[in-house]
Amino acid sequence: MLVSAKEMLNKAREGKYAVGQFNINNLEWTKAILLTAQELQSPVILGVSEGAGKYMCGYKTVVGMVKGMIEELGITVPVALHLDHGTFEGAKACINAGFSSIMFDGSHYPIEENIEKTTTLVHACDVLGLSLEAEVGAIGGEEDGVIGSGECADPNECKMIADLGVTMLAAGIGNIHGKYPENWPGLSFETLAAVKEKVGDMPLVLHGGTGIPEDMIKKAISLGVAKINVNTECQLSFQAATRKYIEEGKDLQGKGFDPRKLLAPGFEAIKATVKEKMELFGSVGKA
């Protein structure tokens, strides 16, 4: 079922677990994530960055693929199709294309402009029953070619954005997209606790899920994180399995060149990574 992320995240916050957002890049990614969610009876959020949306031939193509798969694969667990780090224009395009959840990332704007743009989208999403994620304090690392350093959000600004009526809030707590550098000081739980105190019951979102140690993930969930985004880790699993297949010369044996064979180990590797994350986040059996 394609649904807004609101109910699944409120349940997660109450139940002290987190729902994974796994970013999709193509058919194999989407199928692997949906099948794993169904097998584990876990709610799931499919994340689509603007770059990935373009790569997959536009948001309408993505909506068609996801809706078709949910029906044809008999997926009954709650699935949200979510724009990841959307621009204002991207958010509008995804609303029109039929996404069930939107992230508007106004973290790089002055707070007044972030508030103004987020407010417009709160109204649009309310009318259509879509969930909306807002962001305060830029997440570091590289995404779609944009490189930022991990910031810690101002808890007062978080409250201003939360009060607009968004569904969930991503607050920078020293997290970074992609692999963490050797000298990364870790998540700022001080910031997370201060944000939580200001925003109360609002489900919090932790970006940059790849490579965060298990104990930090668990502590973040205990402090109000109800959604955790994972992207790079599935890419690395896919890459390692595909590399192994080719290095072992399997693509040269029989019909090993058939894309359905060539992409199968990578597909299985994504499934294993998603399973591992769902178990760690505690969302198994919560559909």
* Residues taking part in catalysis: 84
Binds ligand 13P (CB under 6 A): choice among 177, 198, 227, 286 = 177
29: which 2 tokens? 């990614």
Distances, alpha carbon 98 to alpha carbons 4, 62, 93, 130, in Å: 11, 9, 9, 10
Positions 64 through 123 that interact with ligand 13P (CB under 6 A): 84-85
Binds ligand 13P (CB under 6 A): choice among 36, 101, 107, 232 = 232
Identity of the residue, 196 or 207, whose beta carbon is nearer to ligand 13P in the bound complex: 207
- Please enumerate in sequence order all residues whose Cβ is within 8 A of that of 262, keeping only pairs 6 or more positions apart, or say none: 242, 245, 251, 256
With contacts defined by CB under 6 A, name the span among 91-99, 202-210, 219-227, 258-266 that binds ligand 13P.
Answer: 202-210
**Interface with ligand 13P includes 36 (CB under 6 A)?**
no
**Interface with ligand 13P includes 155 (CB under 6 A)?**
no
Contact 161, 113 (CB under 8 A): no
210 burial type by CB count under 10 A (0-12 exposed, 13-18 middle, 19+ buried): buried
**Interface with ligand 13P includes 229 (CB under 6 A)?**
yes
The DSSP bridge partners found for residue 146 are 143
Q: ∠ CA 259-233-252 to the nearest 5 degrees?
A: 25
Identity of the residue, 50 or 154, whose beta carbon is nearer to ligand 13P in the bound complex: 50
With contacts defined by CB under 6 A, name the span among 35-43, 88-96, 231-239, 270-278 that binds ligand 13P.
Answer: 231-239
**Interface with ligand 13P includes 18 (CB under 6 A)?**
no
**Interface with ligand 13P includes 137 (CB under 6 A)?**
no
**Interface with ligand 13P includes 231 (CB under 6 A)?**
yes
Binds ligand 13P (CB under 6 A): choice among 203, 209, 266, 282 = 209
Task: Please count the CA atoms within 13 angstroms of the CA of 42 that sit on its side-chain side.
Answer: 28
Q: ∠ CA 222-226-231 to the nearest 5 degrees?
A: 115
Least distance from ligand 13P to the Cβ atom of residue 8, Å: 17
Here the contacts of 255-261 (C-beta below 8 Å, separation 24 or greater) are none
Binding residues vs ligand 13P (CB under 6 A):
23, 47, 84-85, 177-178, 207-210, 229-233
